[in-house]
Amino acid sequence: MNGQYVTDLIEADDTWTAIVGGKGAHLGSVSRIEGVRVPDGFCVTTDAFRYAMAEAPSLDARLDELSGLDPDDREAIRTLSAEVRATIEGIAIPGDLAAAITRALARFGDDTACAVRSSATAEDLPTASFAGQQDTYLNVVGATAVLRHVSRCWASLFTERAVTYRQRNGIDHREVRMAVVVQRMVFPQAAGILFTADPVTGNRKVATVDAGFGLGEALVSGLVNPDVFKVRHDEVVEKTIAAKERAVQAVPNGGTEEVAVDAERQEQPALTDAEVVRLVRIGRRIEAHFGSPQDIEWCLADGEFQIVQSRPITTLFPVPRAADRENHVYLSVGHQQMMTDAMKPLGLSVWQMTAMAPMHEAGGRLFVDATRRLASPASRAGFLDLVGRGDPLIRDALETVLDRDDFVLSPPEAGPSRPPSGGAPAAPIETDPALVTGLIERSRTSLAALEREIRTKRGPALFDFLPAAFDEHKRVLSDPLSFRAIMAGMEATWWLNDNLQEWLGEKNAADTLTLSAPDNVTSEMGLALLDVADVVRPYPEVIAFLKRQGQSHVVEDEGFLDELAKVAGGTEARDAIEAYLDRYGMRCVGEIDITRPRWRERPTTLVPVILDNVRNFGPGAAERRFEEGRQKAAQKEQDVLSRLRALPDGDRKAAETKRMIDRVRTFIGYREYPKYDIISRYFVYKQALSAEAERLVRSRVLADKEDIFYLTFQELQDVVRSNRADDQLVKRRKEAFRTYQALEPPRVLTSDGEAVNGAYRRDDVPAGALIGLPVSAGTVEGRARVVLDMAQADLEAGDILVTTFTDPSWSPLFVGIAGLVTEVGGLMTHGAVIAREYGLPAVVGVDGATRRIRDGQRIRVHGTDGYVELLP
């Protein structure tokens, strides 16, 4: 019976997590790697934990109470978790279990010093590292002391930090068990941490070694600054030797103490370069064994390295898979599409199948490989210029990579004299509004055909049909005339900003000249919700119903509109919302992910915005705002032209400018239509796929209709054809998605794993100001409202919206705000275009804006110069 309570460490491997916990399973695996030494030891198993916990029946009620606490209620968690720990430490270890542990200790010899380490079943997994959440005890001497510290390790499962982490991440306290690793104590001359990938940059080819004298606890606790070595290709490429004034050492009778380091040793390196390289080679063996970068705790004793911990580094952004071993430079698609959240597998695969360029998945995000464009001198400069106009941070990141002469190599045949591929550029299109009207009509005709043809498709026939639908999708998207219309608007914007600044000294003049431009489906969407508010405003009972819904979600989305119709004025309000959803119901936050709930599926998302519009605007606001914008643009045009005519060669400059103003107003609104078409098609695809999901649930092939979101398109097709699904695959994908949600994607990612985000290299802003990209001119001061979820928005007139990113679905909020600040964005991204359309001062690409600006804080947004001041 004792065998299930204690097992030798060397018997464990990666499959033993449920028995010996994450740390025990990892150490057991490491001990089997050739050339890697792990201190001798054994594991007190999770069966032993369960056996001992059964001695305290009162724990069940305490755990029930603990599970019901709010993770933000720190005081309640602190109090109750302390009570649970005290109960566990007070349990008398059953005699047969104590005997089993004592027998295992006997092989070390009498009073051998031990390290006693907690090892939870939810610890050190590939998708979640629980480093530091449970306890480790060093230099524990004697069986009595070891048994006491085993109990303390069990209790450490319920530290305040561990409890809060599990509450926030949906991990059931009852599902986590605690094993304990007991090892022969190592008394090192030096110890520290090895990261087999650079933990700051993510570079997989650069290992980082932190080292100090004595036990590693001095480093872990922050008692001393470590020596830091960076190693690449078996060579120390960088090192910083710290003044190590203190160290932690073992005390002869047990425990540890802090001691002073002799003055002459303090600035000596804890390791020689040769030792550092040898340690990194050991780390590479461990990394190869586990198949992922590792965070490794090590000791150096008597000239030998010993490994006392190895866990995955879970904070690194994954690297896209490549078919070769060459260097690659990847650009984030999410930063271009204003959606940097993680996407589910079905969303990723559908976007890949309908995109115009090959895309690579990593960390739940998509990337495009820009290596060839950067490698060719013929295309590099133009590519950097195009990218830089949209997002200077991406350009700076790319230039940072290019500055490393050995990373992106030009192909031998490429040279400055080689003409760019593709022949001569297409002739400019005429400035003719009928071109835009024709493009929109062709798109609508194609979409109507899709809706008509897909209605009869079911089961395998649907999946036979969809690839052809995706081809038509790409045909419409790649229409050369559509691309030329988009570029015409963008190029006219650039021309106006560049030339009017040169001639008149005026920054971003195009922002005002494009106010209320025609055919902008996204700005029309925001104004149309003002019209919905006009219908709602006269009916107090409708407003009261919407307020109740917004506060408590008393009615589910499915029955929301039906219930609305039951109150006085509700039929009119319902019809207005229905009409809005007929035109815009396919939209939602993060809409490039087909799995995201659309407004048509979740109409209550719009309730807070409708109520804000009712409160903050009067009747007819939509028409009035559009007309005000049109008049401001016309006045600006007259002002600019008259000032130009007064200049030398003024008539020519004014004539060219007038031509460009007409051109920008003709084409800039169309910039938003292709995205509207894409999302309209996505909703048609989603409705058909959702019907298949419901059939699979009825047939008991899937447990939940949203399980299809965790399958790729091809995998879903296979499930539909076979009527068989892999439940474990769905479960693994859900776990991976939760992990990806915690990662922040970089703007630029190299095949070495290095995340490069770029920097603004400016010295023309006030001290303390937050720097960003100016995308919509003007200056505004007001209350910052930090909004991370559109459905939770509560805005007053004059508020400044601060958020991570704004895709087109955020546009209805824009009509009620005074300014905009986002963490992600570029000059021609959707938020920037609509901010200019509405005349909102806006600064985008502000790193950490939602963390650095407090909700309710007064700020001043300089939309012309690209910075945000934090006001007292």
CA dihedral 570→573→574→578, nearest 10 degrees, is 180
- Rounded CA-CA distance 799/813 in Å is 11
- Rounded CA-CA distance 553/580 in Å is 21
**C-alpha distances in Å from residue 353, one per residue of 308, 342, 346, 385, 634:** 46, 18, 11, 28, 43
Beta-bridged to residue 756, according to DSSP, are: 748
- Rounded CA-CA distance 357/363 in Å is 19
Helical H segments across 789-857, by residue range: 811-814, 830-838, 849-852
Burial bucket for residue 132 (CB in 10 Å: 0-12, 13-18, 19+)? exposed
| CA-closest candidate to residue 134, choices 176, 74, 83, 73 | 176
Identified catalytic residue from 360, 473, 830, 862: 830
Helix, strand, or coil here: 226? coil
User: For residue 53, what are the contacts with CB-CB under 8 A and spacing of at least 6?
Assistant: 59, 88, 91, 154
**C-alpha distances in Å from residue 685, one per residue of 598, 672, 698:** 12, 21, 20
Rg (CA), the chain: 31
Instruction: Say if residues 791 and 809 touch (Cβ distance below 8 Å).
Output: no
Q: What are phi and psi of 861, to 5 degrees?
A: -100, 120
CA dihedral 515→516→519→523, nearest 10 degrees, is 90
Q: Which helix (H) or strand (E) holds 670?
A: none
- Rounded CA-CA distance 182/757 in Å is 43
Beta-bridged to residue 230, according to DSSP, are: 208, 238
Q: What are phi and psi of 601, to 5 degrees?
A: -80, -25
Instruction: Say if residues 346 and 711 touch (Cβ distance below 8 Å).
Output: yes
User: For residue 626, what are the contacts with CB-CB under 8 A and spacing of at least 6?
Assistant: 516, 527
Instruction: Say if residues 828 and 836 touch (Cβ distance below 8 Å).
Output: no
212 DSSP 8-state letter:
E
Where would I find the beta strands (DSSP E) of 39-163? 41-44, 113-120, 136-141
Q: To which residue do tokens 């190590």 refer? A: 244
Please, what's the b/e burial string for 348-372 (b: 16 or more CB within 10 A of its CB; e: otherwise)? bbbbbbbbeeebbbbbbbbbbbbbe
Instruction: Say if residues 115 and 723 touch (Cβ distance below 8 Å).
Output: no
| CA-closest candidate to residue 792, choices 525, 528, 555, 550 | 550
Active site annotation includes 830: yes
- Rounded CA-CA distance 539/72 in Å is 39
Residues with active-site annotation: 830
